[in-house]
Amino acid sequence: MPNDLWQSTKVAPIPSFLYGTAWKEERTQALTRLAFEAGFRGIDTANQRKHYFEAGVGAALRDALRSGLLTRAEVFLQSKFTFLGGQDDRLPYDRSAPVTRQVAQSFDSSLVHLGTDYLDSYVLHGPSSRSGLTAADWQAWRAMEALAVSGKVRFLGVSNVSLGQLQALYAEAAIPPAFVQNRCYAKTGWDQGVRALCRARGSTYQGFSLLTANRAELRGPVAQRIARDTGRPIEQIVFRFCRQLGILPLTGTSSSDHMRLDLAASELELTSDDVSALEKMSGD
C-alpha cells in the first residue's frame, strides 16, 4: 500500500462523533450496523476480546459495504493494541513474543477482523503501568510508528493516559499522537490538564464515558437549568458542549433513537456562558 495513503482524498475525514463498541459482545454486529444506519461514520474498537468483539464490527462493516450503505473510504476505523495486563486468555498475539512482534500480530489480526488493509487510527490502549512510560511502552510505540511509516495506519493515538505520561510521549515520540482518548470527568474540569496539552500540541482529545462518569454532575442544577432553557435532553447538551470545548465525543448507546438524538446534537449551539458553566460545574 502506498505510503501517501493518508494524503489521499479517498479516505474518511476525521469524524465529529465516534461510536464506541466496547461491552457489546454478541450484539456488536447488529449495534454497529444500527450506528451506520443512524449516520455514524467513525467507529472505535480494540483487539481486546475481554471488552470488545472486533470481528463483530468487521461483520457489520462488510454488511454495510455489500448493501451499498457506505464505502470504506467513508468510514473512520479506529482500533487499539492492548498489553497483556488488559487482556484475557483470548489473545490476539503470542504472549511470549517481544512487544514489537505482539503489536504486529495484533495489528494484522485487526485488519483481518475488520476486513480492511489499513486503519485510520491505531491507539495504544493505555501504558503498561500507572506511572511513567516503561521500556515496553516505547517498544509498542516504536512498532506503531513503523506501521504509520509503512502507510498501514493514518494516525496514531494513546488512551487511558496521565498528563505526565503524555508529556513524556510528546517529548520522545518520532510520530506524536494525533489522538488522546481518556475517560472524561466533570470533576477534573473534563480532564482539563490533558486537554490543554493536546490543544498546545495539535492533538485531538477524544472523551469517553461522558454520561456514565458524570451522573451526579448531570443531575445537578447547572446541567438541569441548561436543559430547561434549551428544551433539549441532557445527552445532546453534553455532546454539544464537548464539541464546543474541542472534545471529540464517543457514545456507546444501544438505542437507535438515542444514536440519532446524539448525532442531532450538532444542531444545538450553546452560549459561551453555558459552556463555561458546564466546564466548571460540580454535582452539588
Task: Give me the pLDDT at residue 41, please.
Answer: 98
Low-confidence ranges of the chain (pLDDT < 50): 1-9, 284
Compute the distance between CA of residue 39 and CA of residue 16 in angstroms, rounded to an integer: 11
Query: Which domains are delineated in the chain?
Result: 5-183 (3.20.20.100), 212-284 (no CATH)
The predicted pLDDT at position 243 comes to 98
C-alpha closest to that of 18 among 166, 168, 164, 210: 210
Q: What is the per-residue pLDDT for 8?
A: 41
What is the pLDDT at residue 10? Answer: 78
Model pLDDT, residue 283: 54
Q: CA 118: distance to chain centroid?
A: 17
Average pLDDT over the chain, rounded to an integer: 95
In this prediction, residue 215 carries a pLDDT of 96
pTM for the full predicted model: 0.95
Grid look-up 493536546 returns: 198
**Nearest-angstrom CA–CA distance, 19 and 30:** 13
* Tens-place pLDDT, residues 80-132: 999 999 999 999 999 999 999 999 999 999 999 999 999 999 999 999 999 99
